[in-house]
Homo-oligomer: A and B are copies of this chain.
Amino acid sequence: MKIGILTIGNELTTGRIHDTNSAFIAASLNALGWQVTLAMAVGDDNDSIKKGLDYILALSDAVVVTGGLGPTADDMTTAAIAKAYGLDLYTDEDVLQEIKSRFERYRIEWTPNNAKQAMFPVGARPIYNPTGTAWGFALRTAGKLITVIPGVPSEVKRMFPEGVLPLLKDLQPGSREFVLSRTIKLFGLSEAKVDQTVTELKLRIPGISIGFYPRFPENHLVLTSRGPSEENVRKNLAKAERRVTEALRKYIFGYDNETLDGIVASLLTQKKRTLAVAESCTGGLIADRLTNIPGSSLFLERGIITYSNESKIQLLGVPAEIIEKFGAVSEEVALLMAEGVRKLAVTDIGIAVTGIAGPAGGTDSKPVGTVYIALADGTKSFSRLFHFRWERRRVKEISAQWALEMLRRYLTEEGPDGR
């Protein structure tokens, strides 16, 4: 079944808000195996609404409309749809009573413009709003279904699954497609290389499609499995996941809703290891990411942001001569920082980053984007050198990501030397 989305409101065409409803609705429809033909946003304007509906319904079996159902003069969705299909408006007395009783219950003064919210095109069926006063409605026209709900995201999150989805399911009774999907999260391999590897896999498994989503600095692959038999859909998905995992194992850090911060935090917690962080060019971003995870105080003892050479010498015990000889951005200093912060904090692991985030500070031998990341555990220390392109903020982001990835590989023993 093909379904389109029409979002209505001047706040969308003037860019005052980001439309989050379309993505929510599209994801819900996609998960049920239905195809979203398109999502269109138009202003509060009769002609745009009518033309948009016509265009979407020419390509779709149904349309989900959001927005423009409030009590104010610029909320004109109901009237525009009635006009578009030559229908009169009527007041639903039951809905009107429900809205009035809601005003009483919340002790809000009733103003006559609210009665507008109980008016619907003749032939429409009202859709209950559990959290607000703007009811929605559904209308069948020329074999197609139009459903209309308000645009407030919290109301969409209730009314779409509770009021709209059952009507869409009724449109297509009987045999339905099963759909399952799995997100594979990768880091450390370029977008083009991930694509090339997946293409070369020649993954010809029935009902399987692969979506590719770069999320700097990560790349996400989404495997979707569709078909009439739930068992086969599940089997095919598992098969596809196995083949992709075999080909890209080294670069996969997690699946579905997992995050790299969360995975590193879980590993440290499970293994009862403590951590101290010494950051130069990342400026606190590694510690910031780890402390986003509830319970991070169990493993993160402290972080030191050594922006000055003096702080590297004083707190981490890096000898001034070493900084003088090799430079603050060097393998020698990175290793001593990791070892130094571990000793200072008396933790199992120390991790350190030193680099040139730019835009200034680069030299011919050490251009902007040169970053050393080191890890020390009291028995051994190792470091890696990176050359990043990107501007300052992205150098910070990818450096922090690599530090966490080196920790993950070290903790899982996939790359005990951080590689």
- Contact residues of A between 1 and 55, Cβ < 8 Å to B: 10-20, 22-30, 35-43, 48, 51-52, 55
Q: Which residues of B contact A25 (CB under 8 A)?
A: 15
* Oligomer: number of copies: 2
Task: Report how far A364 CA is from B15 CA in the complex, Å.
Answer: 43
Which among A286, A308, A310 has the highest number of chain B CB atoms within 10 Å? A308
- Chain A contact residues: over half helix, strand or loop, or mixed? mixed
Asked if B15 contacts A358 (CB within 8 A), the reply is no
Task: Report how far A280 CA is from B26 CA in the complex, Å.
Answer: 39
A217 at the interface (CB under 8 A from B): no
Given A211-B11, A287-B284, A301-B307, A38 and B27 contact (CB-CB distance below 8 Å):
no
A204 at the interface (CB under 8 A from B): no
Asked if A18 contacts B15 (CB within 8 A), the reply is no
Given A113-B196, A287-B284, A304-B302, A23 and B19 contact (CB-CB distance below 8 Å):
yes
A59 at the interface (CB under 8 A from B): yes
Which among A13, A29, A42, A212 has the highest number of chain B CB atoms within 10 Å? A13
Asked if A30 contacts B14 (CB within 8 A), the reply is yes
A389 at the interface (CB under 8 A from B): yes
Please give me the residue from chain B that is nearest to A14 by CB atom: B30
Q: Which residues of B contact A40 (CB under 8 A)?
A: 38-41
Asked if A23 contacts B27 (CB within 8 A), the reply is no
Task: Report how far A307 CA is from B394 CA in the complex, Å.
Answer: 26
A70 at the interface (CB under 8 A from B): yes
Task: Report how far A114 CA is from B304 CA in the complex, Å.
Answer: 41
A142 at the interface (CB under 8 A from B): no
Task: Report how far A391 CA is from B38 CA in the complex, Å.
Answer: 33
Task: Report how far A244 CA is from B214 CA in the complex, Å.
Answer: 42
A94-123 to B contact mask, C-beta < 8 Å, 1/0: 000000001001111101011000000000
Which single member of B285, B297, B305 contacts A308 (CB below 8 Å)?
Answer: B297
Asked if B13 contacts A38 (CB within 8 A), the reply is yes
Asked if A302 contacts B307 (CB within 8 A), the reply is yes
Task: Report how far A355 CA is from B388 CA in the complex, Å.
Answer: 36
Asked if A211 contacts B14 (CB within 8 A), the reply is yes
Asked if A391 contacts B131 (CB within 8 A), the reply is yes
A-B contact pairs, 9 of them (CB 8 A): A16-B27, A16-B222, A17-B213, A37-B42, A72-B192, A111-B196, A283-B290, A284-B287, A297-B308
B-binding residues in A (CB < 8 A): 10-20, 22-30, 35-43, 48, 51-52, 55, 59, 70-74, 102, 105-109, 111, 113-114, 131, 152, 154, 190-193, 195-196, 199, 211-214, 216, 222, 277, 279, 281-288, 290-292, 294-297, 300-308, 310-311, 315, 345, 357-360, 369, 387-394, 396
